[in-house]
Amino acid sequence: MRHTIAVLVENRPGVLVHIAGLIARRAFNIESITAGYTEEADVTRITIVVEGDNRNLEQVVNQLSKLVDVIKIVELTAEPSIERELALIKVKARPETRSDIVDIVEIFRAKIVDVNRETMVIELTGEETKIDALCEVLADHGIVEMVRTGKVALSRKPGAAKDSE
């Protein structure tokens, strides 16, 4: 089972390396990891997706909670949350296929963010399955390259993660 956890940490150099290293030493596979600023300048939010059973998740959370820079850990898989990913996809776009690609982009509510004689770059934000579906459709046109941010997630509860129990 995939688990999404939000880890609030002190915004200091090397914290991300400590967290990724700890998880790697325990032989847990990190499906995705993202880090970014929060509403507080001295706090960074790291969203980690790991694969494993509940026992593995408990071990990860217990180990992470021992790190000095960790402020709070919230398992978002266990509660209602909003999850999103961003993808940039460069696809081959010959003159005879450009209108088909534009139609696909509109259906998925994506954006064309760059165009040249041979390719288009498409931006899509959404759930992982939506991005997977767009990639599957665009594969027929030839995906040249792609980058995905990894998941970011936020609880739907009214309070902030730092205040949760």
Calpha distance 90→145 (Å, rounded): 5
* Residues lower than pLDDT 70 in the chain: 165
Alpha carbon 42 to its chain's center: 22
Calpha distance 48→4 (Å, rounded): 6
pLDDT value at residue 112 = 98
Cβ atoms of 44 and 33 closer than 8 Å: no
pLDDT value at residue 28 = 81
- Among 40, 46, 34, which residue's Cα sits nearest to residue 9? 46
- Among 22, 32, 26, 156, which residue's Cα sits nearest to residue 87? 32
- For 131, counting Cβ atoms within 10 Å of its Cβ (0-12 exposed, 13-18 middle, 19+ buried), the class is buried
Length of the chain: 165
Alpha helices in 28-71 (DSSP H): 54-65
Question: Going from the N-terminus, what domains does the chain have, and what CATH number goes with each?
Answer: 2-78 (3.30.70.260), 82-148 (3.30.70.1150)
